[in-house]
Chains A and B, each alone.
Chain A
Amino acid sequence: MSDATRVLVFSTNMISDPGIDLAGSRHLHYSPGVVVISVPCASGIKPDWIVHALESGFDGVFIASDGDECAYLPNCSERSAGNVQHAQEVMQERGISPKRVRMAAVCSVCAEPFTKQVTEFVEELQEAVV
């Protein structure tokens, strides 16, 4: 099945979600196993949610962050990265590979970069399973 590998993307309402929308508007293809939850700001993504997703059956979690474009927090990237790192520590304790979570900045017109990144992530996750 094309969607056998399941990836949860956390996107942000103002920046990365429009970028992911644009990928669709341009009919750029990626795996339908990729689904998105959009939140206001990447700094609000709880480490618990990442771990919960992986324990609920997702193969990977991709944080499409605002990078330096965040309208809320100047240090958004640092804070979000800190939360991801925290999630990775918990994952390690529970025997989940820290490589199953990834974070990258996706801008509001980053249609191609998003498609490319998420496709590579899906492929890497598939290889890891095999």
Chain B
Amino acid sequence: MSERRIGVFICHCGGNISDYVDVAAVRDAVKDEPDVVVAETTIFACADATQTDMVQAIKDQNLDGLVVASCSPKLHTFTFRGVAKRAGMNPYTYTQVNIREQDSWAHTDDPEGATRKAIRLVKAGIAKTRLSAPLSPLEVETTPRTLVIGGGIAGLRAAIGLADIGLGVYLIEKGPEVGGWVAKFGNMYPQGRQGRKLIEELVSEVARRPSIKVFTNAELQSKSGSFGNYKVEIRVGGTSSLGIALEVGSIVVATGFDTYEPEIGEYGYGIDGVVTLPKFKELVDHAAGPLSYHGRPVKTVAYVYCVGSRQPEGNAYCSRYCCAATVHASIEVANLDPQVHQYHLYRDMRTYGKYELMYTESRERGSVYMKYPEDTPPTVARNSAGQLTVTTHDTLTGGEELTIRADLVVLVTGMVARKNAPLVSILKLPLGSDGFFNEIHPKLRPVETVVDGVLIAGACQGPKNSSESVASGLAAVTQSAAILKKGVAELDPMVAQVDADKCTWCGLCEETCPYAAVDRTEVTGKTVAVVNPAVCKGCGGCAPVCPEDAIDLRGYTDAQIRAMIENLAEVPVL
């Protein structure tokens, strides 16, 4: 390989990397590596100003290879390929080296070890770049249609948005009707409009758009193909029915959430008069006057917050929406009956943004808020006189023990991930430890998943209120448009290639490829294998099979991996 001109940028990531990795030592260790002409550290490699500096450095120094040692390649491969492109450099000569998730953060206990590891990783990245070849992305025509899975508020709004942006939509809903949770709701904040009315409007908007086709009682059965051109099969109307094959360019998953169901005995759950937030919301939404429960008037309501949320064992997360939903319900209750007594026993109130106004209103309308200590949560019981009681400590008034006699106790339960194993397995969706679907990055790529063209929206991604769900549904629309409106998509050209000189046509690669990407061809009178790049998925599974070692996966060639291994094997002395 002739001489290369490689630029290496090592990122502090604020202090995320440089608090543990001595980035200057890493730079000094690699600056004299062969072919390295620029070696710099930077506070934030991804900042606009730094990107501009990199473009300039590539042009000024006439670089033909770029290495950025920063975070996981899942976050910024495209960012820095973009830098390369803007500087007129082939983007596939860029290598991202992960010295954050796979170094500084994993070795916060060992800064010297982390620094030595960073040097090994960056040297391997340089070695890979040195052997990189300029590649061109594969272009494929895309299908201008999107499959939306889930007909709740996020899915419905996404379907309308997709249709309005000029894409065809198949909306599939597992249940007999679309509308999801919101269709069951009465008044909602802030406009005071009814959830069921909102859904009716969305449904009529969907009906006005012929480019949206809705299937109810429908589930996804299979998915094949790739980004821009997925072939999916759905099953409509139960298992006995026939499948329908559809072709779509992207998939928006908006399958929603389930609510937390307390264990019997958890905060008195199971006792008559102890209900969860969704049940209470239903009761309030259907009440025409002062509340009653099982025929008994409700004059005092006690709310116990954070039931099943923020637990060291179990759901560790905060569901975000439950505080505001409960505060809202308490105002509704006060509207129905101004004389009602309402006690809110909370751990922390989280009525963020404009919901703060609602919190104030609730207090002005007579709700009493008491903060219970984390280590002694309230207890709910029925006393010998048959009265429902809640005992708590109010930390705001000196931790005094108080017992409230309540007619109804509301356990403020949060959202939990819906169990949907078949869908997860068909789409290969990544799940977080909380069971919700994982985006690539909460801020930078909030609706994209690691599966290209498969997007997530609404509360299947994590607890969200309805307006946040709609916003993420619309983000998924924009993302689908970005993928599909051009009509062509660029695919990574990391596909297999055959060295015709080495190939002796034994046929093993053709046999081993389940995608039939290997064909036979004649090159100067010799029969050899050839890979169809449009069909090859880029797994590289054919490479180890080849007895002549004639197959390489582009971007992961034998020479590149061997050079990386050699550079990683050597532990530097600091």
A: residues with CB less than 8 A from B are: 1-4, 6, 8, 13-14, 17-18, 20-25, 27-33, 35-41, 43-49, 52-53, 56-58, 69, 71-74, 76, 79, 83, 86, 108-109, 111
* A58–B562 alpha-carbon span in the complex (Å): 13
Q: Which of B59-67, B110-118, B341-349 contacts A (4 or more CB under 8 A)?
A: B110-118
User: What are 24 of the A-B contact pairs (CB < 8 Å)?
Assistant: A2-B112, A6-B569, A8-B568, A20-B102, A21-B72, A21-B74, A24-B106, A28-B106, A29-B106, A29-B107, A29-B110, A31-B113, A32-B114, A44-B540, A47-B544, A49-B561, A49-B565, A56-B565, A72-B539, A108-B430, A108-B431, A108-B438, A108-B450, A109-B438
Q: Which residues from chain A contact B205 at a C-beta distance below 8 Å?
A: none
Across the interface, do A21 and B101 meet the contact criterion of CB distance under 8 Å? yes
Does B109 have its Cβ within 8 Å of any Cβ on chain A? Answer: yes
Q: B437-479: which residues lie under 8 A (CB-CB) from chain A?
A: 438, 450-451
Of the candidates A1, A3, A30, A39, the one whose C-beta lies within 8 Å of that of B106 is A30
In the complex formed, the residue of A with least CB distance to B121 is A35
Contact indicator B537/A72 (Cβ below 8 Å):
yes
Tell me how far the C-beta of B509 lies from the nearest C-beta in chain A, rounded to whole angstroms.
Answer: 12
A43:B428 contact, CB within 8 angstroms: no
Cα–Cα distance between A99 and B539 once the two chains are bound (Å):
26
Which residues, 486 to 543 on B, are CB-close (under 8 Å) to A? 494, 512, 514, 537-541, 543
Q: Report whether B450 and A18 are in contact in the complex, using a CB–CB cutoff of 8 Å.
A: yes
Residues of A within 8 A of B433 (CB): 109, 111
Q: Knowing A3-B571, A32-B114, A37-B561 are in contact, say whether A14-B539 is a contact too (CB < 8 A).
A: no
Contact (A3, B117) CB under 8 Å given A21-B72, A30-B106, A49-B561: yes
A4 CA to B113 CA in the complex, in Å?
Answer: 10
By the criterion CB–CB under 8 Å, are A6 and B571 in contact?
yes
A residues near B260, Cβ cutoff 8 Å: none
Q: How many angstroms between the C-alpha atoms of A104 and B332 in the bound complex?
A: 55
Query: Quick one: closest A residue to B492, CB to CB?
Result: A40
Chain A nearest CB, measured from B157 CB (Å): 28
In the complex the two chains form, is A44's CB within 8 Å of B113's CB?
no
Given the complex, which residues of A lie within 8 Å of B189, measured CB to CB? Answer: none
A41 touches B540 (CB 8 A): yes
Q: Which residues from chain A contact B566 at a C-beta distance below 8 Å?
A: 56
* CB-based nearest B residue for A2: B113
Q: How many residues of B contact A (CB 8 A)?
A: 54
Instruction: Tell whether, in the assembled complex, residue B428 and residue A69 are in contact, meaning their CB atoms are under 8 Å apart.
Output: yes
Would A45 and B106 be within 8 Å (CB), given that A25-B101, A37-B568 are in contact?
A: no
Would you give the shortest CB distance from B300 to chain A, in whole angstroms? 43
Contact B568 A35 (CB under 8 A): yes
Nearest 4 CB-CB pairings of A with B? A44-B540, A32-B113, A72-B539, A43-B541
Given contacts A2-B110, A2-B113, A47-B544, contact A39 B556 (CB under 8 A): yes
Tell me the bound Cα distance from A52 to B564 in angstroms: 11
Contact string, B98-136, partner A, CB cutoff 8 A, digits 1/0?
A: 101111111111101110110011001000000000000
Residues of B within 8 A of A49 (CB): 558, 561-562, 565
Alpha-carbon distance between A13 and B438 when the two chains are bound, in angstroms: 15
B538 and A40: CB pair below 8 A?
A: yes
Instruction: Decide: A40 and B116 in contact? CB cutoff 8 A.
Output: no
Across the interface, do B564 and A37 meet the contact criterion of CB distance under 8 Å?
yes
Q: Which of B64-113 contact A (CB under 8 A)?
A: 72-74, 98, 100-110, 112-113
Write the nearest CB–CB distance from A1 to chain B, whole angstroms: 7
Distance in angstroms between the alpha carbons of A14 and B543 in the assembled complex = 19
CB–CB B544/A21 < 8 A: no
Say yes or no for B28: interface residue by CB 8 A criterion. no
In the assembled complex, how far is the CB of residue B419 from the closest CB belonging to chain A, in whole angstroms?
A: 15
Nearest CB to that of A82 among chain B residues?
Answer: B544
A84 to chain B, nearest CB (A): 10
A30 to B117 CA separation, bound complex (whole angstroms): 12
A119 nearest CB across to chain B (Å):
11
A48 to B557, CA, bound (A): 13
A25 vs B566: C-alpha distance when bound (angstroms): 27
CA distance A97 to B553 in the complex (A): 29
Partner of B113, one of A3, A38, A53: A3
Q: Do B571 and A73 touch across chains, with their CB atoms under 8 A apart?
A: no
Q: A3-B571, A20-B102, A109-B431 are in contact. Are A39 and B116 (CB under 8 A)?
A: no
How far is A20 from B541 in the complex, measured between Cα atoms in Å? 22
Residue pair B106, A27 in contact (C-beta under 8 Å): yes
Contacts of B105 in A (CB 8 A): 24-25, 27
Contact status B116-A72, CB under 8 Å: no
B432: interface (CB < 8 Å)? yes
- Nearest CB of chain B from residue A126's CB, rounded to whole Å: 15
Known A73-B514, A109-B432; judge A46-B558 contact (CB<8 A).
Answer: yes
Residues of chain A within 8 A (CB-CB) of B101 are 20-22, 24-25
Additional 15 contacts, C-beta under 8 A, given A24-B103, A29-B110 = A2-B112, A20-B102, A22-B101, A24-B105, A29-B109, A32-B103, A37-B561, A38-B73, A39-B561, A44-B556, A46-B543, A69-B428, A71-B451, A83-B544, A86-B544
Instruction: State whether B544 touches A44 (Cβ < 8 A).
Output: yes
- Indicate which residue in B109, B120, B450, B565 contacts A53 across the interface (CB closer than 8 Å): B565
Closest chain B CB from A82 CB (angstroms): 9
The answer to whether B570 has its CB under 8 Å from any CB of chain A is yes
Query: A20: nearest residue on chain B (CB-CB)?
Result: B102
A48 to B432 Cα, complex, angstroms: 35
Q: In the complex, what residues of B have CB within 8 A of residue A14's CB?
A: 428, 450-451
Chain A residues contacting B107 (CB-CB under 8 Å) are 29, 32
Partner of A71 from the list B103, B112, B428, B431 (CB cut-off 8 Å) is B428
**Contact B102–A1 (Cβ < 8 Å):** no
**Of A1, A58, A71, which contacts B569 at CB under 8 A?**
A58
Contact among A1, A41, A57 for B541, CB-based, below 8 A: A41
